[in-house]
């Protein structure tokens, strides 16, 4: 964003007439709006985090803190969202 501010500042502080400055600003803003901005697929991000968290929990069931956290999280997901998925070591890796 700082590059854009620098360009805008250069246009505004130039010795050109106000009409030319306005036209240059309009042109710059039009080009700036046309630049494709990356869009984040939040569902994909959430799915990845979900999978990573549960894989971590399942890989570390020998640690009581992690096991308890996993059971608590599983219970909370069931209560809040109706998800009936228990955490156990009986997963299948595809």
Query: What pLDDT shows up at residue 9?
Result: 84
Average pLDDT of the chain is 83
Query: What pLDDT shows up at residue 85?
Result: 55
Residue 73 and residue 57 share a domain: yes
Evaluate the CA torsion angle 21, 25, 28, 34 in order and state its sign. negative
In a domain, 9, yes or no: yes
d(C-alpha 64, C-alpha 50), whole Å: 20
pLDDT of 94 higher than 80: no
In a domain, 21, yes or no: yes
Query: What pLDDT shows up at residue 45?
Result: 94
Query: What pLDDT shows up at residue 88?
Result: 53
- Counting the structural domains of the chain, the total is 2
In a domain, 30, yes or no: yes
CA 19 to centroid of chain Cα atoms: 41
In a domain, 91, yes or no: no
Residue 74 and residue 46 share a domain: yes
Per-residue pLDDT band at 68 (split at 50, 70, 90): very high
Residue 75 and residue 46 share a domain: yes
Mean pLDDT of 3-28: 86
Domain that holds residue 64: 42-81
- Phi, psi of 41, deg, nearest 5: -85, 95
Residue 76 and residue 55 share a domain: yes
């Amino acid at each position: 964003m700082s590059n854009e501010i620098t360009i805008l500042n250069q246009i505004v502080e130039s010795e050109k007439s106000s009409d030319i400055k306005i036209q240059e600003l309009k042109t710059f803003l039009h080009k700036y709006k046309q630049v494709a901005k990356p869009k984040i697929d939040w569902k994909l991000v959430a799915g990845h985090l979900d999978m990573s968290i549960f894989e971590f929990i399942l890989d570390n069931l020998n640690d009581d803190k992690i096991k308890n956290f996993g059971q608590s999280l599983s219970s909370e997901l069931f209560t809040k969202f109706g998800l009936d998925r228990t955490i156990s070591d009986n997963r299948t890796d595809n």
